[in-house]
Every structure is written in C-alpha cells, then in structure tokens.
Structure 1
Amino acid sequence: MNKQQLNNALHVGGTLENALTGKYTLNATSVVEEAMQLTKKNFWSFLPAVLFLAAVNVALFMVVLSVLLDSPRELMDAFVGKAVMTDDLLASGRIALFASTVLSAPIYAGASLMGLSHAIGFRTKPRHIVKGMAFAMAVTLGMCFVSALQSIGNQILPLLGMFLGITFSMTPLLICEKRLRPVEAMVVSFRAITKKLIPLLLVYIVIAVLFVFSYATAGIALIWALPFMFNVKGVLYREMFGVGIEVTVAEEGDDDSSSGGGNNEVFNA
C-alpha cells in the first residue's frame, strides 16, 4: 500500500498587480451583504476569538494605565464626566491606547486571517486566533508604524487620522498572506485602497455606524460588530489582492487502484 500526495496551488480573487493599478471591481453593497452572511454563518465559532482579542486589548490598556496613573479609574471618571479631563489624563489614555493596539497586533492579525479564511470558504476554530503569532515581530512593527502615523494624523486633523487608518487597514493581512515587509505592506495597502476610495469609504461607514450603535448599547452590539468587521476585511482583501491557497489531496491505495482516501484542504495563510 502506498500513499500519494498531490499539491495544487490555487488563487482566489484579485491580484497584487491589479490592486496596485485599481483594476479590481468593488461594490460596497455586495461586500456588506457577503460579510453579513459570513458573520451569521461563522458567528459562534468566531465570537470566542474576537472576544479574546477584545479582552487582551482591555487588559493591556488597563496595565499601561496602571503604570502611567495612580489608578485607571482616574481616566474612567474623567471620561464619564465625574472628574475633569486634564491634558495629563488625555495623554495617558492615548499612550495606553497606542501600546495596547501595538502589543495586541499578533492577535489582531490572527482575527484578520480568520476573517480571510471565511471569505474564501474555510471554516475556523477559536484557536486559530493565534495564527498571527507566526508573524508577531513583523505585524507588531507594522502596527506600530500605522498607529504612530494615525496618531499624528489625529493631532493634525481627525479626518486625516481616519483616512490613514482606512488606507493602511490591509497592512496586517499583506504581511501575513503576501509575506511583505511592514513598510512595503503599508505602501501597497495605501496605493491599492486609494484607487477605490469611495466604495471603501462606504463600507467603512457601515462599520463605523455599527460601532457607534455598540457604544449606545453599552458595548453589547460589539458581539456582532467585531466579527463583522473582520469578515469585511477578509472579503475586501480577497477582492483586492486575492488569496493563495494550497490544496493537498492524499490518496491511499495499492499501485493498481485506489482503496479510498481523504481530501484535506489547507489554507496556508
């Protein structure tokens, strides 16, 4: 009895070259509708992963605040109007937000890869949230650059900060899936997104509305908004840059005939 493995490389969606020249089709309504369906289909398997990401972010935020302030409660009281929001408190909050965003980057990348998996038809498990750890150094460095530029943009003009956040949004996935260096991934993300900025803005407006609604519901709606956001990113990335998939077909049998076997499709992100 022998075992034969056949490896085939497939490509789904757009290409890097077309993304950089704007030669890809993007319909905001179709993207939102597909992301809604993916979120509904993968909700219960994806929810623990995004909740873990949220918990890591909050924990890191509170730890950094504890280092910068006597108590994190000082900032919380100022935020809800129980105390005066001083410049020092505001600066501490910004530093803590920057640090938590950068330090949680590998987990964020894992959630992004899960959303991308959904977009190309693969199911995920909560443990897949750690897949981004394989690119920890590069993703953390990339997120550091992106967050720094976005922070500077916010200081100049809030709309500029939002613009930079959108145009650099594909950086983590480009690092993980295309194996680009951090700065190279940022440049590619910026160039590709600015080619189709209007439909992308419409998509991100939907995401923003969901997050505003989440704030109005004391964060309850985040259990839908977070998975939806990562699924949107997955669909957008597939349509813009495409995804390389390795399909391995294993067949067991003797030299003359096959006596049964298995098919194992693996998304090598």
Structure 2
Amino acid sequence: MNDNKLIVGGSLTDALTGKYDFSLKSVIEQSFNVTKNHLGSLLGGFLILFGINVLMVLVLINFFSLESFENSLELQFLTSIIQAVINAPLLGGLMLMGIKHSVDIKTKTTQVFDGFQRLMPLIVVSLIATVLNIILTLLLGQLHPNLGLLGSLYLTVVLALAMPLVIERGVSPLNALYYSFRITHYKLPKFIVLFLLIMGALFLAIIPFGLGLIWMLPMIYNLIGVVYKEIIGVTVIEKGRPEPSDNISI
C-alpha cells in the first residue's frame, strides 16, 4: 500500500487569513493528556539540552569572570547569540517531538537531535528572534524597565510559531517569522493569556524544589505541538498499521 500524506488539524492557508480559533481550555487539557502518554522522551531531551547549556556556561566562565558578565552589555549580547546558535537545533528537535506527540506519534529521546536536519534555518530564526528581542528590550527599557519586559513578552508570543513552521513544514526562516507574526496577531490576546498561564504554571512548578518542572517542561512543548496542530495542522503519512501511534509518521 502506498503511503498517503494528510493534514491533521488546522490549515496553514486558513491560519494566514485568520480563519482559525482554538480553545484555551481544550489545548491545555489536550496537552495534559498528551504529556501523560509522552513524558519520558521529552524529559530526556531536556536533560540533554540542560547538559549542553551547563557545559557552555562552564566554558564561558573559564574565559570570562562573573563580574565581567554583570558589567558588560556587549558580553551579555555575545552570550545570548552563542546560546541562540547552540540551542536552536535542539529546541527545534523538542518542538518537533511535541508536534509528533500532538498526533500521538511516539518519539525517542535521541530525536531531540532531529533539529540538525534543519540546522541553518533554525539558527537563522533563532538569531533574528534573539537580536530583535534584545534590541526591543533595550530600546523600551530606556523608557521604563517594565516596557522592556512587555516588549520581550510581545516578541516571544508573536514569533512562537516560527521554529515549528521551519522544523515541521520546512518554511524558510524569513517566511516562518512573518507567518508566525501574522498568524498570532489574529488572536493575540488569546496567545498572550496562554503565555501568561504557562509562566504562572512554571512559577508554581519551581516552588516544590523544582520537581514540578519534570512535568511542566515537557508539557510546554507538547502544548506548542497541540496549538500548532489546532491552528496550522500536522502533515502525517498514513501507513495503514493497526495501532494509531504506529500507523502515522511525520
């Protein structure tokens, strides 16, 4: 039997014209249920990401003192750029895993490295988003520190779908950033509320010695996958096998 491609969920064409909607309650409930079934692989992926970032910090500390980090905006900017480059393919891998989970496709921890298949586009998206975030935060921060935080919040929300579009659909970096900006603005208040709910949940997860992060961090990326599925849709290949988690793949 030939494999058949199909879209599960929303439509990119409809999303770009604002013809979509999603329920905050529904996507959170779906994400919770998805995380129950697909926790281990994402958790393992986060441990890999965490380990690489710890190694990066140790390397930087060998070259620069903590005092120099605190007193040099240039060094902080450089560190953010390095972090954006190193993390981009791994974050892309985590997002792809969350997207697969949204359509009940099982993943393995090693699939966190799948982002390297789209290495340069993911790095370009990450660099542009990081630079824009830094510039907007600094400019608005000159007026008032809270405005800088609001600017960072705004960019984080409106560009949230860029990496998923690159890793799942193969959209070019500039188009992915534009599409994400355009799509999110149709329902911007709802996206902001969802982001604030995530931040609140993360804060609560940190309280019990950080143990809640074991659940919350994977759930966030499953949530991204669910939202992406509901709005843009996930391209899957139907293979005609008996188990739902085995008969489709991205």
Quickly name the TM-score band, shorter chain normalised.
0.7 to 0.9
In structure 2, which of residues 60, 81, 85 is the aligned counterpart of residue 98 of structure 1? 81
In 1, Cα distance between equivalents of 2:58 and 2:157: 26
Q: TM-score of the superposition, structure 2-length normalised?
A: 0.87
Q: Which residue of 2 is the match for residue 43 of structure 1?
A: 39
Give the corresponding residue for 1:22. Answer: 18
Distance of 1:170 and 1:228 partners within structure 2: 16
Q: How many Å apart are 1:220 and its aligned residue?
A: 3.2
Q: Tell me the equivalent position of 1:210.
A: 201
Unaligned ranges ≥5, structure 1? 76-84, 251-262
Cα distance change on mapping 1:211 and 1:112 into 2, 3 Å = same
Gapped regions of structure 2 (runs ≥ 5): 141-147
Q: In 2, distance between residues paired with 1:217 and 1:59?
A: 26
Answer 1 or 2: which has greater helix percent: 2
| Contact in 1 for aligned 2:34/2:104 (Cα 8 Å) | no
Q: Where does residue 132 of structure 1 map in the other structure?
A: 115
* Aligned-residue CA RMSD (Å): 2.2
Any idea what SS the aligned residue of 2:21 has? coil
Contact 1:6 1:248 in 2 (8 A): yes
User: What whole-Å deviation, never above 9, does each CA across 1:96-149 have from its counterpart, x for those lacking one?
Assistant: 233213211101100000000110111111111111110011101111101111
TM-score, normalising length from structure 1? 0.81
Instruction: Report which stretch shifted further, 231-240 or 202-211.
Output: 202-211
Q: Deviations over 1:66-120 (max 9, x none)?
A: 33x13x5x57xxxxxxxxx8432x6534532332132111011000000001101
The structure that has the greater radius of gyration is 1
Q: Distance in 1 between matches of 2:152 and 2:184?
A: 15
Sequence identity percentage: 27
Moved more, 143-152 or 153-162: 153-162
State the secondary structure of the residue aligned to 1:104: helix
| 2:71 is the counterpart of 1:87 | yes
Amino acid at match of 2:71: D
> Partner residue of 1:119?
102
- Kindly state the Cα deviation for residue 213 of structure 1 after the two structures are TM-superposed: 2.9
**Superposed CA offset, 1:27-56 (max 9, x none):** 111111111111122112321112212222
Q: Structure 1 residues 6 and 23 mapped into 2: Cα distance closer, same or farther (>3 Å)?
A: same
Aligned to 2:59: 63
Asked whether the equivalents of residues 22 and 195 of structure 1 are also in contact (C-alpha less than 8 Å), the reply is yes
CA separation of 1:65/1:185 partners in 2, compared to 1, >3 Å: closer, same or farther? farther
Supply the AA of the counterpart residue of 1:205: L
Aligned to 2:2, what secondary structure does the other structure show? strand
The alignment of Structure 1 onto Structure 2 pairs a total of residues equal to 239
Classify 1:92/1:187 alpha carbon distance in 2 versus 1 (closer, same or farther; 3 Å). Answer: same
Q: Which moved further from structure 2: 5-14 or 94-103?
A: 94-103
Once residues 214 and 97 of structure 1 are traced to their aligned partners in structure 2, the CA distance between those partners, rounded to angstroms, is 25
Query: Residue 192 of structure 1: which of 174, 183, 202 is its match?
Result: 183
